[in-house]
A and B are shown apart, each in its own frame.
Chain A
């Protein structure tokens, strides 16, 4: 290999690094509204927040403005083709975002958000989101709902758990349409399915303990 080839490679790596740094800065900035939104939505687990879920949702939505702004910037820096080169940098935050958006839409409308809708809400037009990341966000959602079901009994709302059970049942049915390789225990897909199933079972337990005490309408 000639020395000038090495120089060319060095230039290439240098330009790559500049891009990477740019992306990192945006991702770090995006982290701020995402964390704020996360902690806002955590309020549904406290007694006051639980009783005013609508206003918590309104408050959570205000953070989406900043999220959209940062994602817009990300889209100007990254092209569709470069996007997956930096998957390690964005997959966590996008998972979190999908979880938050799906939770928000569930709390507002009692329905499951689709992947396209999710992209629309966070203002993602030019970049693709993986189905796998979408699924992992939904796993987080199901886990959060177990917490909500548990806490709603504490706050003596006995009908909430059965609504949640209904929703997770629908969610599980949707998730079941993914192909699973039964043989392979290590497959992430398998684990995700198991998590949703476990969470479904946990909500079932809560509902059962309510119905056996005739606390349901």
Chain B
């Protein structure tokens, strides 16, 4: 009996040790548990702690959802690049929206996560982060034709929190100017590197809070990026920017080839998305094929239609894993 009760409250630190000592006395005294018994007090504190966890999870989830929605809108806006002439203007606007996300929404995320175990709430915000990665890498691709490194993004997500008023959060401008482009082999390197620490350094009144996000979210977001690039490249066919399609095709292929070399991956989601990525790649490759073969014969709209139907085996599962 005593054993079972011990296990029931186990793993909660100092609180339950006190309870264990007094427990035998209480059990001897009477069977009914009085309102202010140590046991009840302990459970009330467990309840508060648990509710606190749930509330935090909900708040994180809400922040993550906001990030998802805004990122989706940014991606939608970025897709206008393929048809609209004012590329610079669209990119500029997207940039300010992305910066806003980093400055406000991710700051909220960092504040909520401060001082908590790193992986406890990962599931609450993973989808938002992935969507954000998709948006920001898409932006970088359109702007410079490269991938931005995960460290560069994370370095922008270090915030100063003043201990007096938690609300005033300032975005720390990163002084270090790293090169934005990241070659494919560097990508796999960064995967192997140690995870970022969530460091909390006291600086006088202010604390520095760095947001911790697992590298996985970056990798999974990159895999999603291929879908957007596929859509982008097909849209470019219909608007006649054929060289863009070829560029995107090479880019997706390089990305895919380098992601294939990741070993010791124990993430089911990764392989699912890798498979989707291959489908996107095949579609763009077929598009390039059609452009070369029939580009001069038919109208652009008809070409887009033909790309959709050419050499696709719906029922065949197609992957290397």
Contacts and interface: CB of A to CB of B under 8 A. Distances in A.
A69 interface: no
Given A32-B263, A150-B285, A39 B293 contact: no
A28 interface: yes
Interface of A: 28, 31-32, 35-36, 38-39, 42-43, 45-47, 92, 96, 140, 143, 146-147, 150-151, 153-154, 156, 195, 198, 202, 205-206, 209-210, 213
Contacts of B294: 209
A47 B250 CA distance: 9
A154 B313 contact: no
Nearest to B264: A28
A42 B258 CA distance: 10
A202 B311 contact: yes
B285 A209 contact: no
Contact of B293 (A38, A45, A195, A213): A213
A39 B258 contact: yes
Interface in B247-264: 250, 253-254, 256-258, 260-264
B292 A42 contact: no
Contact of B282 (A35, A47, A147): A147
Contact of B311 (A43, A195, A205): A205
Interface residues of B, number: 27
A149 B320 CA distance: 18
19 contacts: A28-B264, A31-B264, A32-B263, A35-B260, A35-B261, A36-B261, A38-B260, A39-B257, A45-B253, A46-B253, A96-B320, A143-B316, A151-B288, A154-B289, A154-B292, A205-B310, A209-B293, A209-B294, A210-B293
Interface of A is mostly: helix
Given A38-B320, A42-B260, 6 more contacts: A143-B316, A150-B289, A151-B288, A154-B288, A206-B311, A209-B294
A202 B318 CA distance: 15
B286 interface: yes
Given A32-B263, A36-B261, A38-B320, A153 B253 contact: no
A42 B256 contact: yes
Given A32-B263, A92-B321, A146 B257 contact: no
A153 B293 contact: yes
Contacts of A195: 313, 316
Nearest to B263: A32
A125 to B, nearest CB: 26
A202 B314 CA distance: 13
Contact of A35 (B253, B263, B316): B263
Given A39-B258, A92-B321, A205-B311, A153 B263 contact: no
A210 B293 CA distance: 8
Contacts of B313: 195, 198, 202
Interface in B234-290: 250, 253-254, 256-258, 260-264, 282, 285-286, 288-289
Contacts of B286: 150
B184 to A, nearest CB: 10
A151 B289 contact: yes
Contacts of A213: 293
A36 B260 CA distance: 8
Given A45-B253, A46-B253, A213-B293, A198 B316 contact: yes
Contact of B263 (A31, A43, A146, A202): A31
Contacts of B288: 151, 154
Contacts of A47: 250
Contacts of A36: 261
A54 B321 CA distance: 26
B189 to A, nearest CB: 15
A66 to B, nearest CB: 12
Nearest to B288: A154
B262 to A, nearest CB: 8
Most-contacted residue by chain B among A38, A47, A150, A156 (CB, 10 A): A150
Contact of B260 (A39, A147, A151, A210): A39
Nearest to B188: A39
B285 A154 contact: yes
B139 to A, nearest CB: 25
Contacts of A28: 263-264
Contacts of A202: 311, 313
